[in-house]
Amino acid sequence: MELRQLRYFLAVAEYLHFSEAAAFLGIAQPPLSQQILKLEKEIGTRLFIRHSRRVELTEAGRLFRERAQRLIDDADLALAEAQNAGRGESGRLVLGFAGSTVFHPLVATVLQRFRSAYPGVVIGCEESNSSVLLDRVSEAKVDAAFVRLPLDCRGLATQVLVEEDVLAALPPRHRLARRRRIDLGDLAGDPLILFPRPIGPDLYDSIISACHAAGFNPVISMESPQISSTVNMAAAGFGVTLIPSSMRQIQAKGVTYHDLKGGTLHTTIALVHRPREKAPTVQNFTRIVRDASRHAPQG
């Protein structure tokens, strides 16, 4: 028994006329009649009572019609689901986020665009530091992750989303609080709050190098477990910190944000995924990231 035969049977059962059913199916009447006879022979009973100008379903035919329709519906659904999965329109996508990346509005924009384009894809989220997320992507436990550069991405494919400046966050009542822009060297005497180096060794080293270039060796007063939590440590008076500019939206009592003169420091948000990724959901997501990055404001 073939699906084609079931479709032919259902057409005849709908029109109760071989010629009209053949016209609907786009085939000649004789092949249609032959296939119905073949189906009846295989089943071992008549499905139709033939009259000169019309046909009618037998009791077996009425029962078979109900079951045949279910089979066709299931087959059509299976086909549609397979096609949707092949196009990345269904399935699951697991994304990782380095904590500070979620503050940039373009990350939310990318997620909104993907959700709008592929509403049938279930998105799972995992938040951690960039170094851990690289392992999670490499181990195929996360499909793709937003991380901060500079970072040794260990052979993973990298798609830059946006570059932003690093700014200074000063504690309450700091002597430079009224200045809109400051030199990095102005912070030479202040204790510095940073994230632990293993979280992002390349970014950590670039901050230390920038301090050296500004003429001072920074004194690390505290290490905060995530970049985003350094602002709260500054609010508590433990020192100054350097953060991506998108994090200035954090409202911490008494903390003031200041651009650094000369564009001293930059950091980049990028999407990492396994090279030669074949999963349609990941391919669709990276395409949306790529399109968003082309129109992203920098700085």
pLDDT digits (tens, 9 = 90+) for 262-278: 777 889 999 999 998 88
Work out the pLDDT band at 108, boundaries 50, 70, 90.
Answer: very high
Is the pLDDT at 80 greater than 70? The verdict is: no
In a domain, 299, yes or no: no
Q: Are residues 128 and 273 in the same domain?
A: yes
Q: Which of 36, 59, 86 is the last residue of a domain?
A: 86
Same domain, 274 and 260: no
| Mean pLDDT, range 154-158, rounded to an integer | 91
pLDDT at 115: 92
Asked whether residue 281 is domain-assigned, the answer is yes
* Same domain, yes or no: 12 and 70: yes
Structural domain of 56:
3-86
109 and 80, same domain (yes or no):
no
Max mean pLDDT among 11-15, 99-103, 252-256, 261-265 falls in: 252-256
- Say yes or no: 278 and 255 in one domain: no
Count of structural domains, the chain: 3
pLDDT of residue 189: 87
Distances (CA, A) of 22 to 25, 28, 101: 5, 6, 60
- Judgement on whether residues 178 and 238 belong to the same structural domain of the protein: yes
Whether pTM exceeds 0.75: no
Among the listed ranges 77-91, 237-251, 265-279, which one has the minimum average pLDDT value? 77-91
Same domain, residue pair 131 and 180: no
Last residue of a domain, one of 52, 86, 120: 86
The answer as to whether 237 is a domain residue is: yes
Q: Tell me, what amino acid is at 172?
A: P
Domain harbouring 189, CATH code: 3.40.190.10
Same domain, 132 and 216: no
Q: Is the pLDDT at 295 greater than 80, yes or no?
A: no
Report whether pLDDT(28) > 80: yes
Task: Look at the block and give the residue holding tokens 């994090």.
Answer: 247
